[in-house]
Amino acid sequence: MISKILVPTDGSETAKKAAKYAVELAGQIGASAILVSVIDKTLFASQSVPSIAAPTHLIEPIEDYLRQVAEACLDDVERLCEKKGVKSKKVVRRGHPVEEIVKEAERSKADLIVMGSHGKSALKMAVLGSVTFGVIHKDTKAPVLVVRR
Ligand code: ATP
Ligand code: MN
């Protein structure tokens, strides 16, 4: 019933915990894993950073760096997959995390999404991070499994 698990990660401790859970589960049921990390474009597009104050020659190195960080997060989970004999695929996207996660879930025909309750934000009091909240409230076909921090 579950043959493909989507594992979104932002490199946070909770996302790592969720990824570990997802990989263990995938190993047990013989599913494969799609590892996805989204470079949050909204960070650049915010009103507090007008485009004139963020010219391309400044944005590009930041984006390159963020891409490297995203790749590194996925490499960690990929290694875990290899250890557990789980087939995996890495996907780096750029855009709004909720939109891109949901789009990737549909594109890759994931049967389950496993993600953390929280991420990198300093807002530790929030009941649920906004990315997870957003994914749950989108009309996704796949059920969402939330791993607590
Ligand atoms: P917020 O971002 O709302 O201030 P937060 O950072 O604590 O709060 P979320 O961003 O919702 O919480 O993170 C919850 C989970 O969503 C993470 O554990 C991770 O699985 C996933 N996630 C968050 N951001 C991304 C991202 N950019 N790419 C992929 N997955 C992400
Ligand atoms: Mn976040």
**What's the whole-model pTM score?**
0.93
Return d(Cα 136, Cα 46) in angstroms, integer. Answer: 24
Cα 36 off chain centre by:
5
CA geometry: angle 93, 40, 90, nearest 5 deg: 30
Atom of ligand 1 nearest to the CA of 70: 28
Atom of ligand 1 nearest to the CA of 39: 27
CB of 146 sitting under 6 A from ligand 1 = no
CATH number of the domain residue 89 falls in: 3.40.50.620
Domain range for 32 is: 4-147
- Using alpha carbons, list the distances in angstroms from residue 64 to 1, 58, 67, 95, 140: 38, 11, 5, 14, 30
Q: What is the pLDDT of residues 24-34, one digit of tens each?
A: 999 999 999 99
Look at the chain and report how many structural domains it folds into.
Answer: 1
Q: What is the pLDDT of residues 45-72, one digit of tens each?
A: 655 556 566 678 888 888 899 999 999 9
